Amino acid sequence: MDPQVPSAPNFEPEEPRRLSVLEEIPLRSLLVMVMVVIAAAGLAASALVVNGIMREFTLSRVDQDLTNAATGWAARNDFLRPDSSTARPPSDFYVQKIFQDGSRLILNDSDSAPNLSEVKYDDQLFTVGSAAGGDSNSRWRVISRQRDGIRTIVALNLRREDRIIDRLMATQIVIGLIVLSLLGLVSFWGVRKALRPLRDVERTAASIAAGDLDRRVPSLPTSTEVGRLSVALNVMLSQLQRSIEESRSKEEQMRRFVGDASHELRTPLTSLRGYTELYQSGAMPDADKVLAKVNEEAGRMGYLVEDLLSLTRAEGSPTKREKVDIFELVLNVASSMRAAHPNRMITVTNDADDVPIVLGDQLKIHRVFTNLINNGLVHGGADVTVRVRLEGTCVCVDVIDNGCGMSEEVASHVFERFYRADSSRSRASGGSGLGLAIVKSLVEQHQGSVTVESELGVGTTFTVCLPRSS
């Protein structure tokens, strides 16, 4: 029974968040709306306060007139006489006297009268509506008092005061609408001008999204928020451009690395297949010779794979930090290389006036100088001199050979992976092309640098500089 393969989890795309009404409004329009709404609220509050003060003021004047009338001329019992020549009280007043015998005396030149059903004779001022049959929209201010058995009611119609308040309210509404219209136009112009840098940012972002990575936001004074934003965006865009360019460069290097590695591995594999096919077809009956060739090609392939693994470990493995005596390490490397090349001269000199100590991984630094000295012995075809010296805060090591040298074009590519000066050179003499790439990677892990100087027919000098330990 076939084992059941678990199905892949079903990841459904997240539904976009539904935007609110305010989030769908453009920022310029939203800012203008906010400003207009705040101004409208301020004008409305101001209008309410002004109307309240004006209403209290007019009402206090009416109350003063009513109080003066109730304690003055309206309090007299003979203020109305049959003689027409006698002066009458102001016709705006409503006056009613109720005598002890129930008779009433009313003075009212208005077409309406106050509703006196709830009047109390306690000298208090209060507002009532109009009596039935009169103007139902009129309001009356009333005061009543009782003296010597006679009840006196004095009232004033508030129609004129209400009309003044209504006109004031209408005037405030008209002025408010004019102010809000002007404020809306001015704020729209101001917001549009203030947000112009943001539109530049928007256009810049659109250009960058279209592939123009060299575009930048116009520089603005850092005293403003938009100016600080533009500076931050330009820094971010520069870092982003560098990151993209580095990614493209690394991607190109990776493609070249994969292609070169495939090509390098294909060559020994092709040789292996060719020898086995020749032996199987009978064209090469000597089994020992075939096995020798197979072993040789397998050794070359193993050498290449080992260098690939070394480069991978160099780039991915952590770097230890311990004190390393560079002069002592170079002496050990030179001793090992003399055993491998007994017929070659390897000279080590110490020009440092102090112990050349660095902090680093001893095994990795050992691999650096092993590769450089071996490169001079194998590819330089000459003797090698290693000189240790101090230069400022660095320990520098020069690996010098007096071989055939390199041209400037070749020297500029020697640290690239799988690079060979002579593409026609055999793998036996040309190596894998990874030795100097490994050197560069290991040195950079130690925050150091490696350079090369070469002259055709004279020789080559590789210089490694590492930070010196105190």
Domain residue spans of the chain: 81-157, 318-467
Averaged pLDDT score across all residues of the chain? 79
The whole-angstrom separation of Cα 431 and Cα 238 is 40
What's the pLDDT tens digit per position in 230-266? 788 888 888 888 888 888 877 776 776 677 667 667 7
The pLDDT of residue 22 is 62
Burial 184-214, CB ≥16 within 10 A → b, else e = eeebbeebeeebebeeebeebeeebeeeeee
Of the listed ranges 10-14, 195-199, 241-245, the one predicted with least confidence: 10-14
Is residue 49 within 8 Å of residue 209, measured between CB atoms?
A: no
The whole-angstrom separation of Cα 153 and Cα 94 is 8
Q: What percent of the chain has pLDDT over 90?
A: 13
Q: Mean pLDDT, to the nearest integer, of 326-343?
A: 88
Model confidence at 390: pLDDT above 60: yes
What's the pLDDT tens digit per position in 215-228? 777 777 777 777 78
Which of left, alpha, beta for 25 (phi over 0: left; psi -120 to 50: alpha)? Answer: beta
Model confidence at 455: pLDDT above 60: yes
Model confidence at 135: pLDDT above 80: no
What's the pLDDT tens digit per position in 310-329? 666 665 556 678 899 999 99
Model confidence at 343: pLDDT above 90: no
The whole-angstrom separation of Cα 348 and Cα 386 is 5
Is residue 283 within 8 Å of residue 409, measured between CB atoms?
A: no
Dihedral pair phi/psi, residue 84, rounded to 5°: -70, -15
The pLDDT of residue 312 is 63
Q: What percent of the chain has pLDDT over 70?
A: 81
Q: Max CA-CA distance within the chain?
A: 164
Residue 419, both tokens: 């690079």
Kindly give the pairing relationship between strand 384-391 and strand 346-350: parallel
Model confidence at 425: pLDDT above 60: no
The pLDDT of residue 82 is 46
Q: Mean pLDDT, to the nearest integer, of 456-470?
A: 88
Model confidence at 21: pLDDT above 70: no
The pLDDT of residue 1 is 42
Q: Tell me which fold the domain 318-467 belongs to.
A: Heat Shock Protein 90 (3.30.565)
What's the pLDDT tens digit per position in 287-314? 777 788 778 777 777 767 776 666 666 6
Confidence band of 427 (pLDDT split at 50, 70, 90): very low
The whole-angstrom separation of Cα 221 and Cα 204 is 18
The pLDDT of residue 386 is 93
Confidence band of 448 (pLDDT split at 50, 70, 90): very high
